[in-house]
Structure 1
Amino acid sequence: MRMGLAIDASCDLPRQFLQQHDIAVMPIAVRIDDSVFKDNRDPAEIQRFFDLKLGSRSHSAETEPCSVEDVQKLFLDKLVLEKDCVFCLTITPSRSPIYDNVVKASFAVLKNYRRVREPLGITGPFLMRVLDTRSLFAGSAPSIVEAVRLMQANETPAAIRERLAYIAENSYGYMLPRDLYYLRARAKKKGDRSVGLFSAVLGSTLDIKPLIRAYRGDTTPVGKVRGWEHGCETLFGYAADRVRAGLLVPAMCTAYGGDLSELPTLPGFDKLAQACEECGVALMQAPMSITGMVNVGQGAVTIGFAAEEHQVDF
């Protein structure tokens, strides 16, 4: 059985990894003033976003996740011809409509795939499985990395789905924002009251940054740090401790809302890299998606991993 993966563009993974494993990306359209970006994890498009220096105005951006019709087209024009089973992994539906769009599209795909495949002599059923990663940004990455491993091991679709549901339930995504004023402006634009004006002003005045966790579909602050550099050390130090404690998927996923060459130079990253090397864990580095940057601001740092449930103490 030919198996494949499709993800939405806000799932942060290196471009090389996506290409190596032939992972389809469902794009997101981003409009900022008169500029339109196709967020499909293309490094050239991310660089264009940086070059236009739109970061300070990005909080007013409009984002349009891949529509039901676009998902249908991607599958019926391409994926049903190339694969026999495709797992679609998306960020949590509490933060984006993309999961619901893919579920709706799946009904039409499963109804119409035979008329596309049979004229080309492709027999047998086509399976489409839609999974919520229960996280976002780098927090969605462990499920995708595990899906690749399971497919390479020739596991059955049923076994893969069961395992991915377990990994999603135990995936942790953390974010350290750089600019609270931006985060508050974007939250206001989207009608999200999670970052109030008083908190933004107080935090910026005292240089206090929140550490935000995405876990089991919920996104909430779980700690505070003084100073962005100290926040990096705290976040990467925590990640190194989790690596040494043992992960469910041998990968620590990191993403950065800026020039990716800066990520390894951030305070504490070297200690995380050392822990990963000692424990045989892949340390993945990816640029944050354009969608991620317009939602939380440039310069944000995120990490994602899968681990057994544990107490967080920042």
Structure 2
Amino acid sequence: MTATLDAGPAGPASIALAPETMATAPKAARTGIVIDASIDVSADFLADPDVAVIPIPIRIGGSTYIDQHDPEASARYMRENGNGEGVAGQSIPLDAAQMRNFFIERFALDYDSVYCLTITSTRSPIHDACSEGSSLALAHIRGLRQVADMRRPFQFRVIDTRNMFAGSGIAAMALRDMLAAQMSPKDVRAELLRIVDSTYTYYIPDDLGYARTRSRVRGDRSIKLASVVLGSALAIKPIIRGYQGDTHPVSKYRGRAQSWGKLFKFAARRVAEGQLHTPHVIVSYAGAMGELHATPELGELRQACERAGVSLHVLQMSITGMMNIGPGGLTLAYSGPVPNEAP
């Protein structure tokens, strides 16, 4: 779902604009991208000056972590919660009023168009808070732009990616490609929605008990109690597919090595078919990255991507993702046609 806000020159004239803010008013139109911090994207994406990240505070016991794709914060989280302490964690996303302030401060005068991408609204309140916050910001942004004599319309689109973590990152990175190619706003919207509707995210939790507890907090019932009891005894690792806001298990294997290997080989076949809707595959991991890079099948996926001209992004999972999936959890995502097989 998308929410589009348009602000013309009309608006309240009583809003005063600070002199230092007026001095920074831009001369050319710019388009910004804002993502919530749980979305897994590459470092070069985050380094783009037109990208902003909505931080998500995480509270575990007496400790607070700010999820905003900061490597030091992620390392601290893993160091202090490597034994599953995050199962009792609580995310405290910004509410609508805080979103309003964030949007005004970051985008009101420096941009004419903004795309805000969030993880699926079926598992998180962030999308609703962003939608409400952008609506609250609109009147104030109109006033600021009038005082700055900015007559160009202002557009703010809130996009529900209908996925989580690596899956939401696919839409974000595809959007950046479209903006770099200077596609028209109409074409961007149509293509972005096509990608959102065709993105598949595969989750492999390492600890089924942890993952079930956390998933139920999000309203996800894809991991059953019987599966946890049996899976823990036999070291079963399920592969769970996320698609269009829903999740369900599609296969299961004995041990991490087998489940990871099957998933990476499956993804390599999808890449080799040459039908991906955007040239990106994202893998995010809630653990030491050396463990992931040592997997032989990941090397096979990397080679398949190189041959096909697809970018493979192997990333540290966001703190929010690590808290929800658990230590050792993995996600992989791409956008493409309906798969003809399960991993």
**Normalising by the residue count of structure 2, what TM-score does the alignment of the two structures yield?**
0.87
Q: Deviations over 1:73-115 (max 9, x none)?
A: 1111121222110011111111111111111112112222122
1:221 maps to which of 249, 273, 276: 249
Output the CA distance in 1 between the equivalents of 2:86 and 2:198.
32
In structure 1, what is the equivalent of residue 26 of structure 2?
Answer: none
Aligned 8 A contact 2:222 2:247 in 1: no
In structure 2, what is the equivalent of residue 125 of structure 1?
Answer: 153
Q: Deviations over 1:280-304 (max 9, x none)?
A: 1111121111111111101111111
> Is 1:296 matched with 2:325?
yes
Output the CA distance in 2 between the equivalents of 1:5 and 1:273.
28
Matched position secondary structure for 2:340: coil
Output the CA distance in 1 between the equivalents of 2:341 and 2:39.
23
In structure 2, what is the equivalent of residue 310 of structure 1?
Answer: 339
Matched position secondary structure for 1:4: strand
In structure 1, what is the equivalent of residue 37 of structure 2?
Answer: 9
In structure 1, what is the equivalent of residue 285 of structure 2?
Answer: 256
Matches within 5 A, 1:1-314: 1-20=29-48, 22-53=50-81, 55-189=83-217, 192-246=220-274, 247-314=276-343
Structure 1 residues 283 and 99: CA distance shift in structure 2, 3 A:
same
Which of these two proteins has the greater Rg computed from alpha carbons? 2
Number of positions where the alignment pairs a residue of Structure 1 with one of Structure 2: 314
Letter in 1 for 2:43: R
Of 48-57 and 141-150, more deviation after overlay is shown by 48-57
Letter in 2 for 1:299: G
Letter in 1 for 2:212: R
Counting helix residues as a fraction of each chain, which structure ranks higher? 1
CA RMSD, 1 decimal: 1.6
1:191 is displaced (CA, Å) by 5.8
1:4 is displaced (CA, Å) by 1.2
Letter in 2 for 1:25: V
Output the CA distance in 1 between the equivalents of 2:208 and 2:114.
39
1:219 is displaced (CA, Å) by 1.1
Structure 1 residues 191 and 143: CA distance shift in structure 2, 3 A:
closer
Of 112-121 and 272-281, more deviation after overlay is shown by 112-121
Matched position secondary structure for 2:108: helix
Matched position secondary structure for 1:248: coil
Of 42-51 and 259-268, more deviation after overlay is shown by 259-268
Letter in 2 for 1:259: A
Aligned 8 A contact 2:86 2:323 in 1: yes
The alignment-based identity, stated in percent, is 39
Aligned 8 A contact 1:209 1:225 in 2: yes
Output the CA distance in 2 between the equivalents of 1:125 and 1:250.
32
1:120 is displaced (CA, Å) by 3.3
Of 208-217 and 114-123, more deviation after overlay is shown by 114-123
Structure 1 residues 188 and 280: CA distance shift in structure 2, 3 A:
closer
Letter in 2 for 1:126: F
Letter in 1 for 2:284: A
Letter in 2 for 1:224: K
Matched position secondary structure for 1:81: coil
Aligned 8 A contact 2:31 2:50 in 1: no
Of 109-118 and 264-273, more deviation after overlay is shown by 109-118
Of 35-44 and 154-163, more deviation after overlay is shown by 154-163
Aligned 8 A contact 2:200 2:242 in 1: yes
Q: Deviations over 1:206-245 (max 9, x none)?
A: 1111101110111111111111110110010011001111
Matched position secondary structure for 1:38: strand
Output the CA distance in 2 between the equivalents of 1:25 and 1:70.
14
1:259 is displaced (CA, Å) by 2.0
Structure 1's consecutive aligned runs of 4 or more residues displaced over 4 angstroms after TM superposition are: 188-192
1:47 is displaced (CA, Å) by 0.9
Structure 1 residues 192 and 138: CA distance shift in structure 2, 3 A:
closer
Give the gaps of 5 or more residues in structure 2.
1-28
**Normalising by the residue count of structure 1, what TM-score does the alignment of the two structures yield?**
0.95
1:192 is displaced (CA, Å) by 4.5
Of 140-149 and 257-266, more deviation after overlay is shown by 257-266
